[in-house]
Structure 1
Amino acid sequence: MTRQMHRLAGAALLAAAGLFAAGTANAADLTLKASHQFPGGKGDVRDEMVQMIARDVAKANVGLDIKVYPGASLVKATEQWNAMLKGQIDITSFPLDYASGQHPQFGATLMPGLVKNHDHAKRINSSPFMQDIKKIINDAGVVVLADAWLAGAFGSKKNCILEPNDAKGLKVRSAGATFAEMWAGAGASIVSIPSNEVYNALQTGVADATDTSSGSFVSFRLYEQVSCLTAPGDNALWFMYEPVLMSKRSFDKLNDAQKKAIMEASKKAEDYFAAESKKLDDNLVEAFKKANVKVVTMTEEQAAKWREVANNSSYRTFSEKVPNGKALIVKALQVR
């Protein structure tokens, strides 16, 4: 090989090395923003799901970094969906019903009495009902990374809430329109705020009572504000779908190795949450009893009275006013 050929070969190797280094740097600089409303670093399992995904993706060493912004520190609680669609954030742990203003069908994922317990929620995930919901999510430009259903409870500063008559005259913060309609059907007035604002609403008298997830009751320390808790027990009325979501536009920008890493990490986070979800109810009862809050659970007969109110309010309105609403209710009720 001539001296000139050596020089050319050396130059080519240096150029190739430079391109490789630049490509590696660019890959390492790919950072996704994950935002949610839940407290960070305090044991909230929804935050932990997102943190797990971020940690496992980093361990996969595929040139992808996920920066997590908990506690609505980057985007307000109810604006996560739009922020994701606009490209302001890439990933969120999100109560899907919060986007029911844009997609009213999402209200079915926080429908009184539609999901009865944690095992039922797992069966719902693979049902035609959820296939319809996920098609709407996907068509909107969003990918479901991990499923998550949370049970919830009722908390009151005044009387215990066991039957519909117990809600008459109360100012109740409701997590979504379907529950709000049931509360109104029972004679309550409605306070519409996200879960991270409930503590102050109870403290200042804006609200007398609330429904929210077991996780939020604890992580937002609502045991400091209520005197009676109606825990999920065996006859839960409150279940809410709060998946980890990702902008489809952001997902499609990933290479195959990055997509594989994020989906594997998300499956692990989903399995973690499924194992922890029932524990949230147990932790709820323990935390509220420790704070000297009275804890009660509904009987089957009491829960049936609430479902009758819901059937004549939430279910009826949803079936009449939401496109494909009646079919969604029917499909959900068919899951045994």
Structure 2
Amino acid sequence: MPAITRRAVLGALATTPLWLQAARAQSNTSLKISHQFPGGSVTQGDFRDRLCRMFATEVEKRTKGALKFSIYPGSSLMKTNAQFSSMRKGALDMSLVPLSYAGGEVPEVNIGLMPGLVTSYEQGYGWKNAEVGKELARILAEKGIVVVSWIWQAGGVASRSKPIVEPEDARGLKVRGGSREMDLILKEAGAAVVTLPSNEIYAAMQTGAMDAALTSSTSLISFRLEEVSKALTTGRTGAYWFMFEPLMMSKAVFDRLPKDQQAAIMAVGGELEAFARKEAQEDDQEVATVYQKKGATVVDLKPATIKKWQAIARNTAWKDYAERNPNCAKLLALAEKTL
């Protein structure tokens, strides 16, 4: 064998272990998905946990095992309110979390729980391809976040005493709204607001630290709030409380992945939106059954009542939000085009 060929072979052999190591590191990536909801399985439990598991299974399949995932339900990896900030820093890979929880850090995200701004699933899911959705995605990307699955949920009100239907029903009660903007309309209605994540509602209502809570139908079920409630106002016939609760990914982590893996993540995330919408709407119906079985008074909202809450929101929450900064003003204007 000529000397030059032998040197080439020896050189190739010498570098092969390093090349294999680099290839292995690139082809096998393990990502963590954190959320605050009760854990289950792909087929049973809170649909938001199921969606994370379905996402992980399908992306792993499409990337032939190059991407693997660990799911951490029930805020078992980190505290609920730390997730968004951790994704921005690249310290957490992915999370399914109510976007408005990060309103103190990024004011613009409170558009995701703006009372009366979204009143139907059709309108909410229409945001993704509308100007408002594109602008929101741009702002989030600028803040270090990639929206993987657009998820909307209608909400209702669980109460320890009487049903909260009309604005005046909230007067004098301690109520959890879920965002700065929801708190503003509750204050205008005469309520005292309580601020905490949905996984802490049960304890607060059980002890009497809170009289009522607005949250998604799924959370009204998953956190067993029927055990501490005597009344429920559902979102099944319409609602002024719609939560944007997307599956998100750290942009720093996303940008490090090969293009084919990025494509798989976004494709699966988009495909799961139909599942999320179906499950959320089924929970809007199921929640009434769950609470009725416990003997709670169950009521629905009429269009005229939703408009009352919306009118309060326009003069308080919407106005306050638009004045936060130019981005907020632009997002609100674009969102109003979808009404």
TM-score by length of 1: 0.92
Any conservation in 1 of the 2:236–2:285 contact (CA below 8 Å)?
A: no
Residues 23-80 of structure 1, C-alpha deviations (whole Å, 9 max, x = no match): 4532354211111111111611211221112111221215221111111111111111
Match of 1:225 among 223, 228, 235: 228
- SS of the residue aligned with 2:323? helix
Residues 261-306 of structure 1, C-alpha deviations (whole Å, 9 max, x = no match): 2222212222321332211211212222222222101212222221
Match of 2:91 among 88, 91, 96: 88
Match of 2:286 among 283, 288, 310: 283
For 2:14 and 2:287, locate their aligned partners in 1 and report how far apart those are by CA, in whole Å: 60
Amino acid at match of 1:146: S
Any conservation in 2 of the 1:203–1:225 contact (CA below 8 Å)?
A: yes
**Percent of counterpart pairs with the same letter?**
36
Amino acid at match of 1:313: T
Amino acid at match of 1:111: M
Change (3 A) 1:15 1:242: same
- Runs ≥4 in structure 1, deviation > 6 angstroms? 4-10
Change (3 A) 1:253 1:324: closer
Match of 1:167 among 159, 170, 176: 170
Alignment of 1:153-302 (within 5 A): 153-302=156-305
- SS of the residue aligned with 2:155? strand
For 1:29 and 1:108, locate their aligned partners in 2 and report how far apart those are by CA, in whole Å: 37
Match of 2:55 among 47, 53, 56: 53
Amino acid at match of 2:182: F
Any conservation in 1 of the 2:236–2:281 contact (CA below 8 Å)?
A: no
- SS of the residue aligned with 1:233? coil
For 1:31 and 1:304, locate their aligned partners in 2 and report how far apart those are by CA, in whole Å: 47
Range that drifts further, 294-303 or 237-246: 294-303
Any conservation in 1 of the 2:117–2:310 contact (CA below 8 Å)?
A: no
For 2:323 and 2:251, locate their aligned partners in 1 and report how far apart those are by CA, in whole Å: 31
Change (3 A) 1:291 1:187: same
Say if 2:4 is the partner of 1:22: no
Residues 109-132 of structure 1, C-alpha deviations (whole Å, 9 max, x = no match): 101111111112122222212222
Amino acid at match of 2:68: D
For 1:28 and 1:329, locate their aligned partners in 2 and report how far apart those are by CA, in whole Å: 42
Query: Which residue number corresponds to residue 33 of structure 1?
Result: 32
For 2:270 and 2:317, locate their aligned partners in 1 and report how far apart those are by CA, in whole Å: 33
Residues 222-276 of structure 1, C-alpha deviations (whole Å, 9 max, x = no match): 1111111100132311101111111111011111232222222212222321332
Consecutive unaligned residues of structure 1, counting only runs of 5 or more, are none
Change (3 A) 1:17 1:328: closer
Query: Which residue number corresponds to residue 128 of structure 2?
Result: 125
Any conservation in 2 of the 1:28–1:65 contact (CA below 8 Å)?
A: no
- SS of the residue aligned with 2:154? strand
Match of 2:80 among 74, 77, 86: 77
Amino acid at match of 2:72: Y
Any conservation in 1 of the 2:172–2:191 contact (CA below 8 Å)?
A: yes
Deviation at 1:5, TM superposition (A): 9.0
For 2:216 and 2:227, locate their aligned partners in 1 and report how far apart those are by CA, in whole Å: 16
For 1:29 and 1:250, locate their aligned partners in 2 and report how far apart those are by CA, in whole Å: 14
Query: Which residue number corresponds to residue 149 of structure 1?
Result: 152
For 2:292 and 2:27, locate their aligned partners in 1 and report how far apart those are by CA, in whole Å: 48
Any conservation in 2 of the 1:75–1:83 contact (CA below 8 Å)?
A: no
Any conservation in 2 of the 1:117–1:234 contact (CA below 8 Å)?
A: no
- SS of the residue aligned with 2:295? coil
**Pairs aligned (count):** 335
- SS of the residue aligned with 2:326? coil
- SS of the residue aligned with 1:321? coil
Consecutive unaligned residues of structure 2, counting only runs of 5 or more, are none
Query: Which residue number corresponds to residue 307 of structure 1?
Result: 310
Query: Which residue number corresponds to residue 111 of structure 1?
Result: 114
TM-score by length of 2: 0.92
For 1:326 and 1:249, locate their aligned partners in 2 and report how far apart those are by CA, in whole Å: 28
Change (3 A) 1:322 1:12: closer
